[in-house]
Each structure stands twice: as structure tokens, then as C-alpha cells.
């Protein structure tokens, strides 16, 4: 029997709020946003299938946070790839916890605004470079998220 576990998540949905960009006390940029993802469930009273939203908190760390903050806004449709991270903290004597997606890649699924751009209706993509053995010079390296306690002090809840 193998003890291998895989922590990868792929979701697509719409941003539930404008993203929030801030920096930790050590200067690491942190971008947070929420994505609504629908689930299909049968209504027990009517027997009809209904879309039920799930709300997923997403976090981007490092040098990609600022550029993404300029392209994302409430209602944007995106596809997200990343990993799950559970963290806990205490506020006002109450223990709290949260499961969030640490984002590796973002694909913009909403059409571009055609104002000032040619080819309206095209789709945008902003993803981390695919892993390869050859070093890539054109993009800065993707930064790993800091330990949870590094930025917990900056979270207002």
C-alpha cells in the first residue's frame, strides 16, 4: 500500500469580489480573492436539479500578485489551478480555521474588453510557466507561499 497523496485543485468560476492586494511585514505581496463554483444538487422538495454555489478563497503570493490584481475584478470568469492549504488562527479567544487555494495558475475565461484592443472576444491567460528542466530567463521564478504565521498577522479576521 502506498502513502502517496496528491494536493492539486482545478476550479473555474466567477470572482465574488474585487481582489485585495497587500504586503506582509516582510514585503511579500499577497493577493486574495474569492471564486464562486457551482455544484448541482437535486432539490428534495421539487425533485429538480439546482445550481448551488460554493465559495472558495484563493491566494496568490509573490511577484505575480500585483499584475494579477490589475486584470481581475468582481465577476471575472477564471480557471484556477493550485493546491489546498488549511490554516488556523485565534481571534478574540475563538479558534478559527480556513481551507484555501494557493494559486499556481490563472486562466482568464472572460472575453477581453474590446475598447482600445483589437480582436475583442479573445481570451487572456496568465499562468506560471510549465515546469521544465531548462531554466527560463523570461519570467521571474514563482515564489512559494511563506509559512502561514508570516502573514496571519495581516489578515483582518
Domain extents for the chain?
A: 9-113+123-154
According to CATH, the superfamily of the domain at 9-113+123-154 is Nucleic acid-binding proteins (2.40.50.140)
Q: What are the pLDDT digits (tens) for 63-81? A: 999 999 999 999 999 999 9
Q: What are the pLDDT digits (tens) for 95-114? A: 999 999 999 999 999 876 54
Q: Is 150 helix (H, G, I), strand (E, B) or coil?
A: helix
- What are residue 57's DSSP bridge partners? 34
CB-based contacts of 108: which residues, under 8 Å, 6+ apart? Answer: 71, 76, 77, 78, 123, 124, 125, 126
pLDDT of 130 = 39
Q: What are the pLDDT digits (tens) for 19-63? A: 999 999 999 999 999 999 999 999 999 999 999 999 999 999 999
Q: What are the pLDDT digits (tens) for 113-131? A: 543 333 334 444 444 433 3
Amino acid at each position: 500500500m502506498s502513502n502517496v497523496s496528491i494536493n492539486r485543485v482545478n476550479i473555474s468560476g466567477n470572482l465574488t469580489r474585487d481582489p485585495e492586494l497587500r504586503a506582509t511585514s516582510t514585503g511579500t505581496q499577497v493577493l486574495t480573492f474569492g471564486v464562486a463554483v457551482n455544484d448541482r444538487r437535486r432539490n428534495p422538495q421539487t425533485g429538480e436539479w439546482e445550481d448551488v454555489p460554493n465559495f472558495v478563497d484563493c491566494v496568490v503570493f509573490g511577484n505575480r500578485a500585483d499584475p494579477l490584481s490589475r486584470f481581475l475584478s468582481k465577476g471575472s470568469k477564471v480557471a484556477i489551478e493550485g493546491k489546498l492549504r488549511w490554516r488556523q488562527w485565534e481571534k478574540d479567544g475563538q479558534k478559527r480555521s480556513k481551507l484555501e487555494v494557493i494559486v499556481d495558475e490563472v486562466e482568464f475565461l472572460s472575453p477581453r474588453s474590446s475598447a482600445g484592443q483589437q480582436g475583442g472576444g479573445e481570451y487572456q491567460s496568465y499562468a506560471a510557466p510549465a515546469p521544465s528542466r531548462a531554466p527560463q530567463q523570461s519570467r521571474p521564478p514563482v515564489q512559494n507561499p511563506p509559512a502561514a504565521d508570516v502573514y496571519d498577522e495581516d489578515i483582518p479576521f
